[in-house]
Chains A and B, each alone.
Chain A
Amino acid sequence: MNKLLFKDIDEPGLNTIDVYRRRGGYEQLRRALSMPREAVLNELLASGLRGRGGAGFAMGKKISFLPKGALDIYLCCNADESEPGTFKDRELMQKNPHMLIEGIIIAAYAAGANKSFIYIRGEYVLQADILDAAVLEAERAGFLGENILGSDHRLSLVVHRGAGAYICGEETALLDSLEGKRGNPRLKPPFPANQGLYQGPTLINNVETLATVPAIMGMGGDAYAKLGTETSTGTKLVSVSGHVKRPGNYEIELGVSSREIIYGLAGGPPEGRSVKLWFPGGSSSPVLTGDDLDLAYDFDTMAKAGSMLGSGAIIVVDDQTSVVDVAYKTAYFYRHESCGKCTPCREGTNWTVKMLERMKAGEATPMDLDIIASVCDNIIGHCLCVLGDAMAMPVGSMVAKFRDEFEEYIEARRQESYLGTADPEPELALIQGAVA
């Protein structure tokens, strides 16, 4: 397979403009600027490129939603990569920052934007420093600023560092954070395409999406659309982590089998162990089991299997690990990161963690599993953003698919705890409100 994003990714000095240009960098920008905006947009539409950040929305369509007029249009690159299991953007920005910058300039040209931002998470210090240096190089070379390469396109680019909040990866929370506020999501609609940053029309795209743009311009939208499957075109960076021998980022063509990624590329679980469950798209995606390994890895197949491709982060859990521990870690994370704006998410994540803690302490009953399922059902779709859903979907799917194991775990822990040694028929029935 031809690598588009990870081509010679480890070439020394690729993060400098000299090496990048020697390899044909910024040539696609030159070509794009010589075309009318509509022609560039048509290439992006033809490519069928779907957003790589999690939602999988077609990028070209997103641009065409922007209103035309005299308003300032903003472009925000979402580099707040905090989804557990995801680390593809980190490697891309660290090793090939100019590909992202070139993609941003071309996308801004297609969208008519002249102010752009990269919102990078604060923990990525090295990557933000590299981006800062790369932006400076691009400015000096005349790729950013007024009259880029003699055209009428002008663009400024600011690298904005976050300060540690998962929620700022949600697009409207990102905008609030970029405006200098607490990162709380906004009510939608209005969508950012109409009223985003400073209430102006705003295009928000993930790092990988924007970094793919130069490659699309290079090979043509139609040729790009031939890669992958009909509805999931192109190549994708997949971050594989957890119980595999070779964790890391791999560039794959969408539609390859999941087994090929987990076993072929990442080496599979350690000897003598097997895959118990796996998250196909970061910790927010409903889990799949070892039986689902032969599914094709693309947007639609994953959705049909009841999960999602998300950000393309596969976390593999082997058969030596308790599903309760995985559920607890997942729920704990979302409780910590819930911004607290919507009640179902703030309270739902909190009580799910408390119930899982009760299981670990041996104080739970199987009824808690029903309550968890009910809490999860009542979070989904009832909040401003999908953070609550992102806990409810994986935890709910774990309870549904591994209910037997949960029940065994609850019973085993209960036996070990003080409840196991007490009277065999304690007054539990009364505590739970049953009428004697």
Chain B
Amino acid sequence: MAEVRRFEHGSRVPGWDASVDLRKDPAGVPDPATTPVPAELRAEIEAQMAKYPDFRSAALPALAAVQRHHGWCSPEGIEQAACVMRLTPGYLTAVATFYDMFDTVPTGRNRVYVCTNISCSLRGADELCHRIEQLTADDADIQVKHFECLGACDIAPMVSVNGIYVGPVELDEVDELIDDVRNDRDPLPRKQLRLRPSADTLPMGDGQ
């Protein structure tokens, strides 16, 4: 039976109100005089804003830039982006929490996404994900997420390591893969998607 978690403190889980201090007014647009923004980050966000007919379209690229600079979409980083874009931090936080690729809690430097959707799970992705989670359980440097379809069902079961698609990953290759991630090496170069020829051009009987 699926276990229902119960808490001594009743229905209010600790941290339920951590995202916002309800005793304060919502933060307004940050004051440029008191909000230091790293020059690089400012330049990147301003360049993105210039690309669109409306500057707010740059919200996603700006948050991606914040994540690159700070490692995650930290409140400090979001405030900096809000300052450059002249928006409220609340607006950008609302956007950031909608998308799976933005982390609004501190996380490991390496992002390992394991696809566990239908096509991949038919080919053993659940076991693969479990194995990877076991191996990296005590490694704060690696974030493992079981991700919904990453659009690479031809190399199922597959893993995206910091945006690099690798697959099909056999269970006995997991050690090597995680070793590559830990040591900042190219992950399983022989299994990378970018090198794979199109199935349509392969001669018959040459699959896998």
Contact = CB atoms under 8 A, between A and B. Distances in A.
Given A10-B198, A166-B149, A180-B60, 7 more contacts: A90-B151, A94-B194, A163-B100, A242-B119, A267-B204, A313-B153, A361-B1
B137 interface: no
Given A183-B98, A242-B118, A317-B122, A248 B200 contact: yes
Interface in A299-338: 313, 315, 317, 321, 325-326, 329-330, 333, 336-337
Given A85-B153, A165-B100, A177-B60, A6 B51 contact: no
A181 B117 contact: no
Nearest to B113: A123
A357 interface: yes
Contact of B101 (A164, A245, A315): A164
Interface string B54-71: 101111110110000000
A83 B63 CA distance: 24
B199 interface: yes
A321 B119 CA distance: 12
Interface stretch (B12-20, B27-35, B160-168): B160-168
A84 B148 contact: yes
Size category of the B interface is: 35 or more
Contacts of A249: 154, 198-200
A25 interface: no
Interface in A385-436: 417-418
B64 A333 contact: no
Contacts of B204: 267
A179 B54 contact: yes
B10 interface: no
Contacts of B160: 123
A63 B70 CA distance: 43
B122 A9 contact: no
A63 to B, nearest CB: 21
B78 to A, nearest CB: 14
Size category of the A interface is: 35 or more
B11 interface: no
Interface of B: 1-2, 51-54, 56-61, 63-64, 94-95, 98-102, 113, 116-119, 121-123, 147-156, 160, 163-165, 193-194, 197-202, 204-208
A95 B198 contact: yes
Contacts of B61: 160-161
Interface of A: 3, 6, 9-10, 72, 81-87, 90-91, 94-95, 115, 121-126, 158, 160-166, 177-183, 198, 239, 241-243, 245-251, 265-267, 279, 283, 313, 315, 317, 321, 325-326, 329-330, 333, 336-337, 339, 357, 361, 363, 417-418
A87 B154 contact: yes
A163 B119 contact: no
Contacts of A84: 117-119, 148-149, 153
A163 B199 contact: no
A85 B119 contact: yes
Nearest to B101: A164
Nearest to A162: B60
Nearest to B156: A241
A198 B54 contact: yes
A242 B155 CA distance: 10
Given A161-B60, A248-B198, A337-B148, A85 B154 contact: no
